[in-house]
Amino acid sequence: MKVQHPYRWGSLSGALVLTVAGLGLGGCGSEGDTAVSTPPLITSLEIPASVNQGQAFPLAFSVTVPGGLPTSNAFQLSWGGFQVQTLSANQAGCGAGATSCSTAFGITPPSGLSIGEYAVTFRVFDRTGQAASVTRNVELAN
């Protein structure tokens, strides 16, 4: 694409010409990142409405990750912004670099949380840093 724009600066005049050519840029990072415009997608999330403090609860989800799951910091559970649990792809039962994953496992709420209701946000990240998130209200009981 070529754009011309006339200019006048004092006694000088002319045309500024800008030519734009297609350019693809790869991603950066240590895990072979590639430029991907499609962010991750959480296609299902199952988390109980009530969980007990200090006891594992079932967490199940399915994700599509066109940019591939990173080795570490692939998933997060944020408890009202107070506590964040981070999981690697392997800890969640998914392989690093996977572009889709359906899994279920038990996870224990972080210690130090008070009894009460929390907005729990589940996030999935890809190797380029894009993310998707879903929030559910979860009651933390004793």
Q: Mind listing the pLDDT tens digit for each residue in 36-61? A: 479 999 999 999 999 999 999 999 99
Cα distance between residue 17 and residue 5, in whole Å: 7
Residue 34's pLDDT is what? 53
> Token digits for 2?
């070529």
Quick one: DSSP state of residue 25? Answer: -
Instruction: Compute the half-sphere exposure of residue 83: CA atoms within 13 Å on the CB side of its CA.
Output: 10
Length of the chain: 142
- Averaged pLDDT score across all residues of the chain: 84
Q: In this structure, which amino acid lies at residue 33? A: D
Mean pLDDT of 77-105: 96
| End-to-end Cα separation, the chain, in angstroms | 64
Q: What is the dihedral of CA 139, 44, 91, 75, to 10 degrees?
A: -80
Residue 37's pLDDT is what? 74
